[in-house]
């Protein structure tokens, strides 16, 4: 149990300190894990991105094929099948998506969204936006 906790902490540290791109000029972002102040639910803050078109039709970690028009997401550690709310920190827009894949979490990213979810968050032009995720149900 202790070893599993250390492995999880090491994985989160690697995710929180990795950088995107090759310039290396951006400082690492800190990803926070806290209890939600109003509901006692787990939430995490960081950045969201969305799947590139090259992933259309490829198998996800759950065995499903990635469909850009479904409300799905990839997360590094949350159990597959977990429903989460992803809220843009800068404007309050939110979507509910089901975790069906895994992501690498580079550059402070905590979640990769399907194109449809990204469109609903109005993030297609920006590509990466600051978000908070909250577990709704497993």
Q: What is the pLDDT along the chain (138 residues), one digit of tens a residue?
A: 333 433 333 343 333 323 233 333 333 333 444 554 445 577 899 999 999 888 999 999 999 999 999 999 999 999 999 999 999 999 999 999 999 999 887 788 999 999 999 999 999 999 999 999 999 987
- Reduced to 3 states, what is the DSSP secondary structure of residue 9? helix
- State the residue for tokens 């499903």: 64
Note whether 122 and 50 are within 8 A (CB): no
How much is the pTM?
0.71
CATH second-level architecture of 2-20+28-137?
Beta Barrel (2.40)
From residue 99, how far is each of 6, 47, 81, 112 by CA, in Å? 24, 16, 5, 10
CA distance 94 to 29: 22
Dihedral of alpha carbons 73, 96, 53, 31, sign: negative
Could you tell me the residue ranges of all domains in the chain?
Answer: 2-20+28-137
Beta-ladder partners of 94: 87
């Amino acid at each position: 149990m202790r070893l599993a906790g250390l492995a999880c902490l090491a994985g989160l540290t690697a995710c929180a300190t990795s950088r995107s791109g090759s310039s290396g000029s951006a400082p690492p972002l800190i990803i926070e894990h806290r209890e939600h102040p109003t509901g006692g639910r787990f939430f995490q803050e960081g950045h969201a991105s969305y799947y590139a078109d090259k992933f259309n039709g490829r198998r996800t970690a759950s065995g499903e094929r990635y469909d850009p028009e479904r409300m799905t997401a990839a997360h590094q550690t949350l159990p597959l099948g977990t429903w989460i709310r992803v809220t843009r920190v800068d404007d309050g827009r939110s979507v509910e998506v089901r975790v069906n894949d895994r992501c690498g979490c580079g550059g402070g990213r905590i979640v990769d969204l399907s194109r449809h979810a990204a469109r609903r968050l109005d993030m297609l032009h920006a590509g990466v936006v600051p978000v908070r995720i909250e577990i709704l149900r497993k």
